[in-house]
Amino acid sequence: MNGGAEMSRPINRTALVTGSSRGIGRAIAERLGREGVLVAVHYARNEEAAEHTVKSIIADGGRAFQVRAEFGVPGDVDTLLEGLRAGLEELAEDVGLDILVNNAAIITSGTALEGTTPELFDRLMAVNARAPFFLTQRALPLLRDGGRIINISSGLTRFANPQEVAYAMSKAALEMIGLHFARYLGPRRITVNTVSPGITDTGHPSLLVPQIREALSNLAAFGRLAEPADIADVVAFLASDDARWITGSVIDASGGTMLGG
For residue 177, the surrounding DSSP H or E stretch is: helix 165-185
Task: State the Rg of the chain over Cα.
Answer: 18
Catalytic choice (167, 178, 191, 200): 167
Q: Distance between CA atoms of 17 and 37, rounded to whole angstroms?
A: 11
Interior angle at CA 255, CA 153 and CA 189, nearest 5 = 50
- Letter string b/e over residues 137-163, b meaning 16 or more CB atoms within 10 A of that residue's CB: eebbebbbeebbbbbbbbbbbbeeeeb
Q: Distance between CA atoms of 215 and 48, rounded to whole angstroms?
A: 33
CB 97 within 8 A of CB 13: no
Is 184 catalytic? The answer is: no
Phi-psi region at 256: left, alpha or beta (left = phi > 0; alpha = psi -120 to 50)? left
Sign of CA dihedral 205, 209, 211, 213: positive
Residue numbers annotated as active site? 167
